[in-house]
Amino acid sequence: MICLTNSRILKRFDFVPFNHIFASMPKKIPEEMEKRIREEFKKFPFPGLLGVEVDRLEHGFARLRLPFHFRLTQGQNYIHGGVITSICDSAVALALATMIDKGEYMLTIELKTKYTAPADDDIFAEAHIIHKGNHTAVGEVDVLKSDGTLVAKSVVTYFLNVKETGEIE
């Protein structure tokens, strides 16, 4: 038996540390942190305007839901690409919020989205933080329809430790 992990081929009897197997599994966050993040998100005007809802939060992970509505579509009754990109940005922000201290701030500095299918149904954005350093963080997002169809993939980079006014420290 041969499998790949960490760009290395493992043979049947190679040792794989137990913590390596479960390192990427989402971890529960404290209840008070989840409540604070959900309450703060309700105050964000743009996601509220779109109708974005928080579905699930875990350490370094967020799943957002966007109910389909005609006002969010482009000319052929599919959800507009800008709306999809916006939910990606919000999903990474919430996933990152589960990993930073209260009082720390973040600001999007780069975002790239690739579309794979049109969205004519509710969509879900599932974001995972893949890197968090002292000054930047990177998240990956899969946007899925209710039936599991991949609509888009996105990579978002955030600058960390931005003052509440938007000034960089």
Q: Which CATH superfamily is domain 27-160 in?
A: Hotdog Thioesterase (3.10.129.10)
Q: Which pLDDT score, from 0 to 100, does residue 169 have?
A: 55
Q: Which pLDDT score, from 0 to 100, does residue 115 have?
A: 98
Q: Which pLDDT score, from 0 to 100, does residue 114 have?
A: 98
Q: Which pLDDT score, from 0 to 100, does residue 8 have?
A: 45
**Across the 169 residues of the chain, what is the mean pLDDT of every consecutive 10-residue run?**
45 43 66 94 93 97 97 96 98 96 89 98 98 96 97 97 62
Look at strands 8-10 and 61-66 and give their pairing: unpaired
